[in-house]
Amino acid sequence: QVQLVESGGDVVQSGGSLRLSCEASGFIFSNYGMHWVRQAPDKGLEWVTFIHYDGSNKYYADAVKGRFSISRDNAKNTLYLQMNSLRPEDTGVYYCAKERESDRLFEYWGQGTLVTVSS
């Protein structure tokens, strides 16, 4: 069965950096695009970034463009999110999500990892 396990969430000061990881299993990771979606405390869902199955294309939300970087290691079945210049408004649970079929739909989600940015 598909499993996505995020890690790396922590408490960090404003301006700091953090790298999140998402370890995938139960499917052929190198065949699927992957996303990061976040959720601020008691707020709605916000799409953050996407990477094509082979890493050739990446897209970012304006709120994180230039500060966050998505990458993947298909040999390790792992997705990453490098977050720099963190701001308090970046606080929230970060989910990795697997696409259904190269269709920008979030078919499977991890359990999420909490990032807290203190001012």
Partner 1 sequence: EIVLTQSPATLSLSPGEGATLSCRASQGISSLLAWYQQKPGQAPRLLIYDASIRATGIPARFSGSGSGTDFTLTISSLEPEDFAVYYCQQRSNWPLTFGGGTKVEIK
Binding site for partner 1 (CB under 8 A): 35, 44-47, 50, 59-62, 95, 100, 103-107, 109-112
**Nearer CB in complex with partner 1: 14/89:** 89
Query: Any idea how long the chain is?
Result: 119
CA dihedral sign of residues 45, 68, 29, 112: negative
| Distance in Å, CB of 74 to partner 1, minimum | 23
| β partners of residue 45 | 39
**Nearer CB in complex with partner 1: 64/86:** 64
| Distance in Å, CB of 109 to partner 1, minimum | 4
Residues with Cβ within 8 Å of residue 79, at least 6 apart in sequence: 21, 22, 24, 34, 36, 51, 70, 71, 72, 96
| Distance in Å, CB of 38 to partner 1, minimum | 11
